[in-house]
Chain A
Amino acid sequence: MAIIGIDLGTTYSAIAVLDDIGNPEVLSSLDDSRVTPSVVYISANNKIIVGNKAKSAGIGDPNRVIKAVKKEMAYDDKVFDVNKGMFVQGNQDLKNTYSPAFISACILKELKNYTQDVKKVVVTVPALFSDAAKKATQDAANDAGLEVLELIHEPTAAVLHYSNIPGVNLSGNILVFDLGGGTFDVTIANVQGKKINIITSRGDTNLGGTDFDKEIFNLLSEKYKKEKGNSLDKKNGQYFEVAEKIKRILSVKEHASEVIDGPSGPLKIKITRDEYLKSIDSYLDRIKMLLDDCLDNEERKLQPNEISETLLVGGSSRTPIITELVTKKMGKAPVKGVNVDEAVASGAALYAGLLSKDELNAAQKDSIENIELQDITNFYLGTSALRLNNATQKYETYNSIIIPRDTKLPCSETKDYYTTYDGQERINIKVTSSATNEENIDFVDVIGEYALDLPPDTPADGRIDTTYAYDTSGIMHCETVHVSSGNTNGTDIIIKGTSSTKSNNDDNPFLNFDDDD
């Protein structure tokens, strides 16, 4: 059985297999591409096409082309509506709508076809992917007929791959800068040979190369409107192809000129590098802030010179503007020689090998035997509790942290709480998650809820122990105990928004792959 890792990206995806001697090998598609566009086209007669062919098929029918589904994975109340050509909210029962997990399942099934005998996989997700998005990713994999061994964070997979490249012997703190099509992660890991300890991660699941493309599209549209009086249709994927091309040209030249075939006829438009840089300035600033926050925050202060190497990952990181930014910030150039498009999938395949040791041959076992990986929690996990606000002298609900961010996995933490009044009958436990050490309950995500019934006549100040246990795959188990009575409740997996992989199309409800269309 093949040992598989899948990088399910916003703009491109890749699949890697652990070869017979234990090295990860990225697999090519039938059209010989090692990366597959994460694009799905659903035709009027419900044929589903994925990848480069989907891009071509959708040229005359842009409403049926679905891109960047990864950005929608956290929302189980959203569906792609092919009538509108966009993700819409609250229309689960409409015809011709498709859930994000269903669309991701289409991509995964396509990747699965690049080799035989695929069943168990490791799938990568951004470091700051929400629990709901992780759950939807797992659902998508299951729906594609894959058993998920574990999900692994993309920067973790990248550093795993890097530390296992023959001839590489790492020692010190490695910063992984992962700028993909739609997400940005920055992770610091302490690596000694093949022993990897993740220290911390930051991320923005709404920042990536597609944002740069959008800004170039906006520049094109403004210039087109000025000359021809009409704006360009943002649903037309061709304009974004041109924008992407201009982005690549501006990486090496001071300006780029392209002919735009707009609604009022063709027009040659020139974009300068200065215009481009100005348009993406706020995104670059966000990248700088996350880099700073990863190095220097409440819990730790690392100077750039304490980082041995910076590893660039993700297709969008190859642009010279990004290399310049990283070089300036870190005081030295990032390391070269790692394939930014393939590192994540390769690392995932290695991790799949680690999790399937019994199924490996001797050479594969030898290859990975020294690998050790210590991962962490990327979110603060807590619950809502009452406390006295000293400033207002009023009781208020606040977010009480139980497991802090950057806690080594697996972990289990217990915190004591108390009943608030005599005769309290029930406690409602809200499980919260936040990327920052947040006390304001309005600023955290509630990822689960459960209730604990108390015995009759329970007095105030009765101790309540709440335990959160987080396993290595990122699944959290929660349990709350009323100590004096022993009453207990909890749940094995508390993840809000279990995703539906349902396609709400009665005529043809599920996957219909057709390579020929």
Chain B
Amino acid sequence: MGLFGSIVDVVFGKEISKFEVMVTTGMHQFKDGANINCVNFQFKGKIGNSRKSPSTIVFLLTDSNEKTPMLSLIDDCRLNGDLDPRFMITAPLPPASDYEGYKNWINSGLYVPLELIRHPYKGSRTMMCGSFVVDNLSNLSLADSWITYHFATGNTDIIFDDFGYMDAHKNRDRVKELSIDLCMVMAASDGSLDQSELNIIKGWTYRDCQLIDDATEKAREKEKFSKYLKKSYSKAKKGEISHDHLVNEINKICDNSSKHNLIELLLEVISADGVFSSDEDKLLNKLVKSLDIDNETFNAMKNKTVLNVESIETDNVSLEGLLGITNEMSKNEKCDHLRKQYTKWLNQTTNRDPKIKDRAQQMIANISTLRSKFGCD
């Protein structure tokens, strides 16, 4: 916990005045019409703001159960600048008398989309907001320099459906093993597990090890995964790995970003031998569905692979899967989706790379085949 300890101590240290803060979550409609689940901050109490130097209110978010901070996914909402990922957001305080302060709840006007905040743990949690009224002369980007007049906390209960970063940290090694296994299954799905595919899996496995400074630890980590790679390779060759079992475990312990990274890795493995085979495509589509990956995000990832792979087995491959058509789509949705895919691939028919140009023509022909099948007019 070391890195996060100091701010938690401050938050739970002492209250400065009768100042209250309320943190809530709920849907908020932005000016562009987007409806997004957001965190909102309100405050009230005897916090005068009539000094010559006005004050700013600072909000910090923490997982109250484990006293672990929420992290920001964007640079503008980070404590102590870029290197510290803890979530922080500020708002100017409107003028108020020293004697009266704010009798009623004042909305800070801040609505922070929850998707921009990285939580530590999955499940039902209490999110705590530590709020500081800080003199504007303070350097807001350096928490140690804050001149704090008031402090209060407010809680809200929230359910996080996805695994948090601490969950991911705890399960890191197992997630890596499962990813290796799944990649081996994918590589073997077309009947051959070749060196180019193995190189991709090896490269990915050892990538994290390169970041370890300590030579002994680095060697130990490499050895551990080297053993696992060999074991997984051997089992995959013999067909002894069940992808259903892997997916179940991945869903139990993997966060969304790890799942997306896994799909990216699987696409790399698929394209390693230059052929996008029908067996690989079928397995990939099945995995994407089982792992509950958003179809649009997956299609964007897949299109990159389809564009760059040497060949696609169009005779056998499911054209619907290749073009991102799902059974859940209505006829109109299928036709609309295919039209968008058409304009996307049309752009590539004038590509200077003849391989990409041919691929685009092939995809357009596939789109026409499907439109005809679905009776799009």
CB-CB < 8 A to B365: which residues of A? 282
* B364 close to A286 (CB less than 8 A): yes
The interface bits of chain B over 234-258 (1 if a CB of A lies within 8 angstroms of the residue's CB, else 0) are 0000000000000000000000110
* B347 close to A438 (CB less than 8 A): yes
Bound Cα distance from A307 to B1, whole angstroms: 65
* B307 close to A442 (CB less than 8 A): yes
Instruction: Tell me how far the C-beta of B253 lies from the nearest C-beta in chain A, rounded to whole angstroms.
Output: 16
Instruction: Tell me how far the C-beta of B218 lies from the nearest C-beta in chain A, rounded to whole angstroms.
Output: 22
Q: Which of B121-129, B312-320, B337-345 contacts A (4 or more CB under 8 A)?
A: B337-345
User: In the complex, what residue of chain A is closest to B116 when comparing beta carbons?
Assistant: A390
Residues of B within 8 A of A (CB): 73-75, 82, 115-116, 118, 256-257, 260-261, 264, 294, 297, 300, 303-304, 307-308, 338-340, 342-344, 346-352, 354, 361, 364-365, 368-369, 371-372, 376-377
Q: Which of A20-28, A111-119, A287-295 contacts B (4 or more CB under 8 A)?
A: A287-295
Instruction: Tell me how far the C-beta of A76 lies from the nearest C-beta in chain B, rounded to whole angstroms.
Output: 9
Q: Which of A74, A293, A393, A442 contacts B304 (CB 8 A)?
A: A442
The interface bits of chain A over 441-483 (1 if a CB of B lies within 8 angstroms of the residue's CB, else 0) are 0111100000000000000110000000000000000000000
Instruction: Tell me how far the C-beta of B282 lies from the nearest C-beta in chain A, rounded to whole angstroms.
Output: 23
CB-CB < 8 A to B348: which residues of A? 443
Residue among A285, A292, A391, A440 with the highest chain B CB neighbour number at 10 A? A391
The answer, yes or no, to whether A19 is at the interface (CB within 8 Å) is no
* B73 close to A286 (CB less than 8 A): no
Instruction: Tell me how far the C-beta of B9 lies from the nearest C-beta in chain A, rounded to whole angstroms.
Output: 28
CB-CB < 8 A to B297: which residues of A? 391
Instruction: Tell me how far the C-beta of B317 lies from the nearest C-beta in chain A, rounded to whole angstroms.
Output: 19
Query: Known: A205-B350, A391-B294, A393-B257. Is A440-B368 also a contact (CB below 8 A)?
Result: no
CB-CB < 8 A to B372: which residues of A? 281-282, 285
The interface bits of chain A over 193-220 (1 if a CB of B lies within 8 angstroms of the residue's CB, else 0) are 0000000001011100000000000000
Bound Cα distance from A74 to B350, whole angstroms: 8
Bound Cα distance from A281 to B364, whole angstroms: 13
The 9 nearest A-B residue pairs measured at CB:
A393-B257, A282-B368, A391-B260, A392-B260, A435-B347, A285-B368, A289-B339, A436-B343, A289-B342
CB-CB < 8 A to B343: which residues of A? 202, 289-290, 293, 435-436
* A390 close to B115 (CB less than 8 A): yes
Query: Known: A292-B339, A460-B82. Is A390-B350 also a contact (CB below 8 A)?
Result: no
Residues of A within 8 A of B (CB): 74-75, 77, 89, 130, 133, 202, 204-206, 281-282, 285-286, 288-290, 292-293, 388-394, 434-436, 438-440, 442-445, 460-461, 497
Query: Known: A440-B304, A442-B304. Is A461-B75 also a contact (CB below 8 A)?
Result: yes
CB-CB < 8 A to A393: which residues of B? 73, 118, 257, 260-261
Bound Cα distance from A435 to B257, whole angstroms: 30
User: In the complex, what residue of chain B is closest to A89 when comparing beta carbons?
Assistant: B354
CB-CB < 8 A to A460: which residues of B? 82
Instruction: Tell me how far the C-beta of A79 lies from the nearest C-beta in chain B, rounded to whole angstroms.
Output: 14
Q: Which of B74, B261, B349, B352 contacts A392 (CB 8 A)?
A: B261
Instruction: Tell me how far the C-beta of B87 lies from the nearest C-beta in chain A, rounded to whole angstroms.
Output: 14
CB-CB < 8 A to A133: which residues of B? 350
Q: Which of B75, B308, B364 contacts A442 (CB 8 A)?
A: B308
User: In the complex, what residue of chain B is closest to A434 when comparing beta carbons?
Assistant: B347
What would 13 more interface pairs be, CB under 8 Å, given A282-B369, A289-B343? A205-B350, A281-B368, A285-B371, A285-B372, A288-B377, A388-B73, A389-B260, A392-B257, A393-B73, A436-B347, A443-B303, A443-B348, A497-B352
